[in-house]
Structure 1
Amino acid sequence: MPFLGILEDRKLRHVPGTVVLEEGADHVRSGTITGRLKHGSGRNSHIILIPQPSDDPNDPLNWSTVKKLTAFGVTSFGCILYAAVISGMLNSVWANMSLELDTSIARLVQTNGYQALVVGVTGPIFNALARKYGKRPIFLSASIICLVANIVGSAVNTYNGLLTSRILQGFAIAPYESLIFTLISDMFFVHERGVYAAWINFLLAGISNLVTVVTGPIGTNLGWRWIFYLMVLFTGIQAILQFFFVPETSYNRNHQLDLDEIGNDEEKGELDEKRIEGAEASMISHTENLEGAIPSSSATSTPIRPKSFLENLSIVSGSFSEENLFQLCLAPLAVFSNLAVAWVIVVNSMFVCFYVVIAFVLSQLFSAPPYLMDPTSVGYLSFGPFVGGVIGTVVLGATLDPFIIFCARRNKGVYEPEYRLVFSIVSLTCGAGLIGWGVVVGKHDSPYAAATLHGLMLFGVMIACVTSSAYALDAYRSMAAEIFIATMTVKNLLVYGFSYFQNNWVAEAGVTRVFYVWGGISLGLSLTAPIVFFYGKRYRSFWARHNLLEKWHIRTHEE
């Protein structure tokens, strides 16, 4: 049985996702794995690189650290602006806007819902286009669309004008909310992904709560239009940086290099061979096939030349898939047939929505008696969840990757993706925070206590989202793009639905009762994680043997 009690599979010699991660374990024989597979450098020289990079210097896995971090940093800036700031940038000024635009707060909140609906509907389309033509043209298009949307928002005087701006913004959110996760698997190896997954989840959840801290004073002192003016400035800068410093990261790598995705269909024989030797034997077999699978630059008369800076500026770099666009649009829906993937999608979607349901009612509850807060004070309430998000990010960023290396070492060098889920039980703090927040606000107690419980809630959100996202990247990397598109679609459709009833529900039933419901749902979802942890490997084996996507001829990975 693998370390920490993960249930062993009895069907396959090697289950996709299970890999020999660390050199030096007592089962690795000299001259087999260690002599043929590429390893990390420096302090990670004992770590086997999963997936294996090709010999092409243009392979994103082979990019320099500076180039990787620059591309990831600029796209993260876009993630902040489009996926984190846009949706919540007006939450603290709804009360003021309702007076100026002569409409209700509930109706203004619905503009967030329509925006989320656009994001959810367009997500699969953007994913299909990214799979077909690469991610670079999609990111650039999104940046330009959002720039136009912000210009429109800065000039409108009516509710319909605001709605038009919010809908246009929705077209820009989808790529930066979901495709950015696939950049992690495009450019980074298994042992590096945890910290980047934690960072992206922090941008999507933590920064979203800091937005009102900034926009609240702007709305109070300068007016809500200045929020749009500043967004025009920053989205224009980001679009320029995205064009010059983020090359295409999609790459058609030989599938034999994806050691984490390749399984061994042979039925297992004796029990004592089933785990370590199966993983090792499969990797050795594919390692032998790699010799000659990818042309080596040293073995050719014309070495592969790195692309120049000008060549990297090309917006479209050709086609990355032979599938038709309709089939690619279906792929994010088809991944629901995998139960483990469906669990990841539901957990990510719902936990993100748990902080959205608070954001919807902040202005409604704290602008009214007995609190009577102005937009600046309402915005400051988000310091609590921001701090909770920071703590969650720091904890997971510092521990998640070292922890899985520790687990692999204790597991005789074999890494199981389920190790990413060990910390997920801590997400129970989300449910506790939701219930506590509802009680405190329902009793009109200290807003500082409410902000603290809001932070506890977001800490749990970070734990749930980071661990499940990292698990999806490692256990089902071939479906990563589709998984995060599906997550984004479900989440935004839920937000659209919540925008129709959350504010009215709180007004009619009371904030305490409403958040007892949300807290109970959160606690229930957190308690499902141990099931996936203990049975995840067996299900990965089952999926490898009964892959419905293959039966339906839907491809999520180009070889």
Structure 2
Amino acid sequence: MGTVILTQDDSLSDQYLSNLKRGTGRHQDIILTPQPSDDPNDPMNWPYYQKILIVAVVVFGACLCASTNGPLLNASLFILAVEFQRPITDFTVLSGYQLLVAGASGPIISAAARKYGKRPVFLFSSFACLIGSIIGSVSTTYNMLLAAKIIAGLSIAAYESIIFTVVGDLFFVHERGLYTALMSFTLTCVSNLSSVVTGRITNDLGWHYLFHILDACVGLQLVLTFFLVPETCYLRDPALSAVLQVTEEREKNQVKTGETREMEASVASLQTPRKTYLQRLAVFTGSYTDESLIRLVVAPFASCLNVVALWTVIITGAVTSFYVAVAFVIAQLFSPPPYNLTAAGVGYMSLGPFIGGALGCLLVGALMDPLTIWLTKRNHGVYEPEFRLPLVAIGVLCGAGLFGFGSLADTQGSIYAIAFMWGLALFGISFIVGPCSAYAIDAYRSISDEIFIANIMFKNFLFYGYSYFVNNWTASAGTAPVFYTFGGIAFGLTATTVIVYIFGKQYRAFWARHNLMDKLGMEGRLGM
């Protein structure tokens, strides 16, 4: 599981690999994984420009429904507290309830996407965000704002989790690192840029305009999703991936031959016509599994029976939650004296994490696939998903940034230095979330949907918990104890990557022999 032949060296005979499809241009020596079928409706065979267009629209949706929708009011919390004459914690809890809905709806979103495809789930999520935003734009009471945030919370799960598995639907293993990094950038960095913009809008036009503008943007994204994002789920013959799976004999520089040839013959398919554009506009394109919805709803919980999947959920969810904890207290710390920042000023502080996160994601995207290919060639052409993980070492900067933020904010240091430390934390988070997400897709592709849903449940429940106590904890204890605690946990979690890198392959082999999800009838049938 996960270990495949990606490049060919002298130990691999042309007799068995010469008929396999390969990349083009500078990747012409790369054996495509998974092997695309001969079906023109296979997303792997779609024109590259169409794949990019799909990713662009889905990323636009993630920017709005997750990265903007969630922190929409963060820079305005102090102003809302004054206007409604309620404690600032009440407005932090607004986001908490929204994130609670996002986490609780995750298993249902996962089940629907697995059974009926991703297209209807994306359309529903964009529509929910639009309805919630419209309610917010006409809100005049606290309860109307609460209703708006709860309804909009239904849009978050798909755009925080399923977007990662779209990468696996559309791109080959050697291409996924860049696009996984792009998704990570969208979720960890764009929310900071949105805070810069929303703070200025609140300052100049009032907080209602946050929703007015979001109405228009989400409406456009919903239209683009309907017309430009077809269904990316595809029932791939397992043999298309199995022909590249490395068997135990490969450890002796041999490839299983007879069975491989039978599989290659079995995947030769009849030519089928490409669906027309109107056919691709269908919202529902059939069922992609025979499993019941109830069993699929339980599957994200069951995926955590896989220890490495659970590790992925915890490490990526926890470090992301530490960044959100900072966002929860920014208005509380810097709106009152001695800083006296306006809503726009609070928003501008998010430039630090935006720049840090953007640089991190750019470097992750630039380094991950080349590093993976280099390590694969050093490994005699055999790709191991663990090759995604060395970059996580740079994730120690997440802990360093949290320590720096806590210390400087506690001593009322320079606002620019504080923003830099927040950015350093996001820089480090990029090197944790991107590689670990790519690892989950490649090592456990068949349960990757469930892993990412479990991840958003975990982190959104953390966010909900933070909304109740992090502001009060910071007010009573000061920022240093709070963010030293978060930073220390980040250091510890980053260190555990060494264990997964060393023993990940052995555990994948163990899971292949003792797959608890398969025994429970919940294992997916996706290819690499």
TM-score bracket for the superposition, by shorter chain length: over 0.9
Deviations for 1:424-464, whole angstroms, at most 9, x for unmatched residues? 11100000100110000100010000001111100011100
* Residue equivalent to 2:98: 115
* Residue equivalent to 1:413: 381
* Residue equivalent to 1:497: 465
Give the 5 Å matches for 1:107-256: 107-256=90-239
* Aligned structure 1 segments of 4 or more residues deviating by more than 6 angstroms: none
| Structure 1 Cα separation of the partners of residues 242 and 448 of structure 2 | 16
Instruction: Tell me the number of residue pairs that the alignment of Structure 1 and Structure 2 aligns.
Output: 527
- Report the AA paired with residue 97 of structure 1: L
| Structure 2 Cα separation of the partners of residues 263 and 557 of structure 1 | 18
Say if 1:52 and 1:259, in contact at 8 Å, map to a contact too. no
What secondary structure does 1:242 align onto?
helix
* Residue equivalent to 2:88: 105
Q: How far 1:386 sits from its partner (Å)?
A: 0.6
* Residue equivalent to 1:281: 256
Q: How far 1:212 sits from its partner (Å)?
A: 1.1
Say if 2:239 and 2:266, in contact at 8 Å, map to a contact too. no
Q: How far 1:555 sits from its partner (Å)?
A: 2.5
Deviations for 1:297-329, whole angstroms, at most 9, x for unmatched residues? 2xxxxxx11111111111100111101000011
Give the 5 Å matches for 1:390-429: 390-429=358-397
| Structure 2 Cα separation of the partners of residues 293 and 440 of structure 1 | 61
Q: How far 1:43 sits from its partner (Å)?
A: 1.6
| Cα distance change, pair 313–499 in 1 and its aligned pair in 2 (3 A) | same
Q: How far 1:259 sits from its partner (Å)?
A: 3.4
- Report the AA paired with residue 517 of structure 1: T
Deviations for 1:495-537, whole angstroms, at most 9, x for unmatched residues? 1111110000000111111111111111110110000001101
* Residue equivalent to 1:19: 4
Q: How far 1:285 sits from its partner (Å)?
A: 3.5
- Report the AA paired with residue 4 of structure 2: V
Deviations for 1:61-106, whole angstroms, at most 9, x for unmatched residues? 1000011111111011001001111111110011111122221111
Give the 5 Å matches for 1:369-408: 369-408=337-376
Say if 1:51 and 1:260, in contact at 8 Å, map to a contact too. no
| Structure 1 Cα separation of the partners of residues 40 and 179 of structure 2 | 22
| Structure 2 Cα separation of the partners of residues 540 and 241 of structure 1 | 39
Please point out which of 273, 283, 307 is paired with 1:305. Answer: 273
Please point out which of 17, 42, 61 is paired with 1:78. Answer: 61
Q: How far 1:557 sits from its partner (Å)?
A: 2.3
- Report the AA paired with residue 191 of structure 2: S
Please point out which of 404, 411, 417 is paired with 1:436. Answer: 404
- Report the AA paired with residue 511 of structure 2: W
Q: Does 1:336 align with 2:304?
A: yes
Show structure 2 runs of 5+ residues with no match.
none
Say if 2:68 and 2:194, in contact at 8 Å, map to a contact too. yes
| Cα distance change, pair 168–276 in 1 and its aligned pair in 2 (3 A) | farther
Say if 2:243 and 2:260, in contact at 8 Å, map to a contact too. no
What secondary structure does 2:315 align onto?
helix
Say if 1:17 and 1:261, in contact at 8 Å, map to a contact too. no
- Report the AA paired with residue 31 of structure 1: Q
| Structure 2 Cα separation of the partners of residues 203 and 356 of structure 1 | 15
- Report the AA paired with residue 275 of structure 1: E
| Structure 1 Cα separation of the partners of residues 268 and 141 of structure 2 | 59
* Residue equivalent to 2:266: 292
Q: Does 1:95 align with 2:63?
A: no
| Cα distance change, pair 419–260 in 1 and its aligned pair in 2 (3 A) | farther
Say if 1:407 and 1:419, in contact at 8 Å, map to a contact too. yes
| Cα distance change, pair 429–255 in 1 and its aligned pair in 2 (3 A) | same
Q: How far 1:339 sits from its partner (Å)?
A: 0.6
Say if 1:356 and 1:495, in contact at 8 Å, map to a contact too. yes
| Structure 2 Cα separation of the partners of residues 122 and 54 of structure 1 | 34
What secondary structure does 1:39 align onto?
coil
Q: How far 1:194 sits from its partner (Å)?
A: 0.2
- Report the AA paired with residue 269 of structure 2: P
- Report the AA paired with residue 145 of structure 1: A
Say if 2:202 and 2:210, in contact at 8 Å, map to a contact too. yes
* Residue equivalent to 1:3: none
Say if 2:5 and 2:246, in contact at 8 Å, map to a contact too. no
Give the 5 Å matches for 1:443-458: 443-458=411-426
TM-score using structure 2 length? 0.98
What secondary structure does 2:369 align onto?
helix
| Cα distance change, pair 380–248 in 1 and its aligned pair in 2 (3 A) | same
| Structure 2 Cα separation of the partners of residues 554 and 500 of structure 1 | 35
* Residue equivalent to 2:45: 62
| Cα distance change, pair 332–85 in 1 and its aligned pair in 2 (3 A) | same
| Structure 1 Cα separation of the partners of residues 276 and 57 of structure 2 | 19
Say if 1:146 and 1:169, in contact at 8 Å, map to a contact too. yes
| Cα distance change, pair 505–288 in 1 and its aligned pair in 2 (3 A) | same
Show structure 1 runs of 5+ residues with no match.
1-15, 298-303
Say if 1:87 and 1:112, in contact at 8 Å, map to a contact too. yes
Q: Does 1:320 align with 2:269?
A: no
- Report the AA paired with residue 516 of structure 1: Y
Q: How far 1:262 sits from its partner (Å)?
A: 5.1
Give the 5 Å matches for 1:348-359: 348-359=316-327
* Residue equivalent to 2:14: 30
| Structure 1 Cα separation of the partners of residues 14 and 132 of structure 2 | 60
Say if 1:50 and 1:260, in contact at 8 Å, map to a contact too. no
What secondary structure does 2:44 align onto?
helix
Give the 5 Å matches for 1:457-496: 457-496=425-464
Q: How far 1:296 sits from its partner (Å)?
A: 3.5
| Structure 2 Cα separation of the partners of residues 355 and 116 of structure 1 | 15
Deviations for 1:113-166, whole angstroms, at most 9, x for unmatched residues? 101110111111011011111110110011111111111001011111100000
Q: How far 1:173 sits from its partner (Å)?
A: 0.8
| Structure 2 Cα separation of the partners of residues 226 and 261 of structure 1 | 53
* Residue equivalent to 2:24: 41
TM-score using structure 1 length? 0.92
Q: How far 1:32 sits from its partner (Å)?
A: 1.4
- Two-structure CA RMSD over aligned residues (Å): 1.4
Deviates more, 1:517-526 or 1:254-263: 254-263
| Structure 2 Cα separation of the partners of residues 285 and 386 of structure 1 | 51
Say if 2:242 and 2:263, in contact at 8 Å, map to a contact too. no
| Structure 2 Cα separation of the partners of residues 515 and 161 of structure 1 | 33
What secondary structure does 1:258 align onto?
helix
Q: How far 1:30 sits from its partner (Å)?
A: 1.9
| Structure 2 Cα separation of the partners of residues 185 and 260 of structure 1 | 18
